[in-house]
Structure 1
């Protein structure tokens, strides 16, 4: 039995990928059950492997066997689905489920992004990020080193010097004037890269997450406005 998802579930699953590359590797298509508006519909996220076994669909077109067996129709490629959500998010950082549904409906009907007066003009690029909210559809992270035992300062300084492209002397001075800012609004891949280096020194980092979706835990829309 396929696990069918709500629109909210699909958006959260795609945002949790962390990057466009991760979306591409994990998911191929977003399928939808016929007959319901998108905001009420049930969806399925397919993996690339599931697309290989094709059979004729109701209209004679080739469809994956699982889609035919469960009455699913193509909605959008997962990468295109993310693009639509991303354009909406960049224009309205505090978008709610209804906003994303409207953007997807518009794209499905017109094969064009829904411009809310910010996208094609380019004005959304210059918007200042909101506290606690990422700029795009994936999480962003601020990382800093808040503590460093005296016997680890030199090792930490060497890592920081390479990471921030500064001299070891400058890094040593920053280690003595904690905290040290190691990354601001970094993506998931960069976060892992930085964390790994400090985990090797047994130095925990302080991490602040900027969430991609306004309804996720940790986001207070009132404080973000």
Structure 2
């Protein structure tokens, strides 16, 4: 039996990959029951299962399930693209908005593009802690540096931000310092590890993908 996901769980699974490359490497096709995206069940087929079940004509075999028949819906990376287009044009989108965007693509084979965001929507999304793109985003801030650590901190900041050591030292003396803004999880983890290696902790601000996800 294959467990089916509702739309919210499917979307959370997609963004938990953290970037398009990971979506592509993790999932192949998404299977779905027939109907509207807001109400059907989905099965994202793991890439390894997709490749192993290829019937020789480029079509994967359906997953084993006791539920009503599943149909080839969309590739997981296409789902990610649809969600991203929707979020870029409507930053405050909720679950029903994403469902509509998916239904539109599945019916018309083209993106539902609303154009530029409405005035003030991007600012309101920032206020609500929503990332500008599809995946979670992170701001990193250096808030405290002991005098004995300033030289090491300045050297690392100079390397990361392509500054002279003198310029970086001036910034380190005038904390807080925005080390990076709107970066993905992998880049955030990498920078935090580099500062931790010289005994410094960064303040992390996380921006979530969807309004229903927890803040922080």
Q: TM-score range by the shorter chain?
A: 0.7 to 0.9
> Aligned partners of 1:64, 1:74: CA distance in 2, in Å?
9
Question: Which secondary structure state, in structure 2, belongs to the residue aligned with residue 46 of structure 1?
Answer: strand
Matches within 5 A, 1:1-225: 1-34=1-34, 36-54=35-53, 62-64=59-61, 66-67=63-64, 71-116=69-114, 118=115, 123-124=116-117, 128=122, 130-131=125-126, 132-218=129-215
Give the CA deviation at 1:128: 4.4
Tell me, which stretches of 5 or more residues in structure 1 are unaligned?
A: 220-225
Are the structure 2 counterparts of residues 55 and 13 from structure 1 closer, same or farther at C-alpha, using a change threshold of 3 Å? Answer: closer
Give the CA deviation at 1:62: 4.7
Misfit runs of 4+, over 6 Å? none
Alignment deviations for residues 29-83 of structure 1 (CA, whole Å, 9 cap, x no partner): 111123x422111111111110134387xxx995425257763221100010111
The worse-fitting range, judged by mean Cα deviation, of 69-78 and 175-184 is: 69-78
Question: Which secondary structure state, in structure 2, belongs to the residue aligned with residue 181 of structure 1?
Answer: strand
Matched-pair contact (CA < 8 Å) for 1:67–1:73: no
> Aligned partners of 1:32, 1:88: CA distance in 2, in Å?
20
TM-score by length of 1: 0.84
Tell me, which stretches of 5 or more residues in structure 2 are unaligned?
A: none
> Aligned partners of 1:218, 1:17: CA distance in 2, in Å?
18
> Aligned partners of 1:192, 1:11: CA distance in 2, in Å?
23
Give the CA deviation at 1:17: 1.3
> Aligned partners of 2:71, 2:210: CA distance in 1, in Å?
27
Give the alignment's Cα RMSD to 1 decimal. Answer: 2.5
Matched-pair contact (CA < 8 Å) for 1:140–1:186: yes
TM-score by length of 2: 0.88
> Aligned partners of 1:194, 1:23: CA distance in 2, in Å?
23
Are the structure 2 counterparts of residues 67 and 21 from structure 1 closer, same or farther at C-alpha, using a change threshold of 3 Å? Answer: same
Matched-pair contact (CA < 8 Å) for 2:2–2:65: no
Matched-pair contact (CA < 8 Å) for 2:62–2:70: no
Question: Which secondary structure state, in structure 2, belongs to the residue aligned with residue 138 of structure 1?
Answer: coil
